[in-house]
Structure 1
């Protein structure tokens, strides 16, 4: 990937969420996208002045890029994987940004259904 300047367009389809970039010299955090980021990832995002989504690396099927492990509220040891089916147009060489959801509508329904099943009893559910 060629080096970029602050005035360069993003190399990814993701764009900066800030209207103006912070001054040079701040804390930069780089992370690959995950289906549901862990709290440590969110803390890293919160602490950073710059956030870079590393999406030009190989998509890994056995990682958290398209799946997550959900635990029930009553028994955190009881877990189930939530996986979003993906299509990798270039096989194992497909990058994260090239991966495509196999069935977006079905995936949306499955994620919503499992979140309701696992977490609707939470006192914080109405906020979600």
Structure 2
């Protein structure tokens, strides 16, 4: 079956504006949300014309959906996990989009403190902190792991 034209009329006369569809063609990337994505994920995003967030699949505790690896400034081979504490309301079958941050206010403070302790000595810390602030504020205001990731 040939692809439908995005400019074709909708079946309903109730539609007051054309659908917000991208032009045909291009490269599409599909990826699950990652808490502080790795450079390979960011490269995938940069190379794509369209980005789809796959958040309706099962949350995986041992994946990057709620955690990230931090490398030490003085020794990049020395790494530690930074974890966003997550509650799964439906147990193991919880979808990524339904995972909740456990105690968002405390989690936001702890992650902010850990990142500052880990990278505060870097000459780039002021720029990094300014970029991180909206993400860290989202931890407290939204409470959903997928929204932060």
Task: Give yes or no for TM over 0.5.
Answer: yes
Structure 1 stretches (4+) deviating beyond 2 angstroms? none
Corresponding residue SS for 2:112: helix
Q: Which runs of 5+ in 2 are unaligned?
A: 1-5, 8-19, 129-149
**Aligned residue runs from structure 1 range 1-128, under 5 A:** 22-128=22-128
SS of alignment partner, residue 70 of structure 2: strand
More helix by share: 2
Higher normalized contact order (CA 8 Å, seq sep 6+, divided by chain length):
2
TM-score normalised by length of structure 1: 0.80
Runs (5+) with no aligned partner, structure 1: 1-5, 8-19
Cα deviation, residue 77, structure 1: 2.5
How much has 1:93 moved relative to structure 2?
0.4
Structure number with larger C-alpha Rg: 2
Deviation at 1:21, TM superposition (A): 5.1
CA pair 124-72 structure 1, distance change in 2 beyond 3 A: same
Q: Distance in 2 between matches of 1:67 and 1:119?
A: 17
